[in-house]
Amino acid sequence: MLRKLSGASDGCKNGTCPTLWGTEDAKDYVVQGYVVTDPARLAQLNLPEGETAVMVPAAVLEEFFSARR
C-alpha cells in the first residue's frame, strides 16, 4: 500500500497531480509526474529498458523535504 507524502490535494484541476508516494515499508518512493518525452532530455538520461523518467514540480519535493526538517 502506498501513502501520500506530498503533492497538491485540492488544487488539482483533473483530480490527479504530480505526487510523491512512499511504500509501506518506507524503503522506496513512487513519483507520479509528467512523462518526459523530449528526445534530447531522454538521451541525456540514457535510461535502461524498463525505466522511465517523469517530471514533477519542485514544490512537490520541497514540501516533502521541508516537512522532514
Provide mean pLDDT across the span 11-22.
81
Domain span at residue 37 reads 2-67
Confidence of residue 35 (pLDDT cuts 50, 70, 90): very high
pLDDT at 11: 64
Provide mean pLDDT across the span 16-44.
94
Torsion of CA 58, 9, 6, 62, to 10 degrees: 30
| Whole-number Cα distances in Å, 29 to 11, 39, 43, 48, 68 | 22, 25, 24, 19, 15
pLDDT at 27: 95
The structural domain count of the chain equals: 1
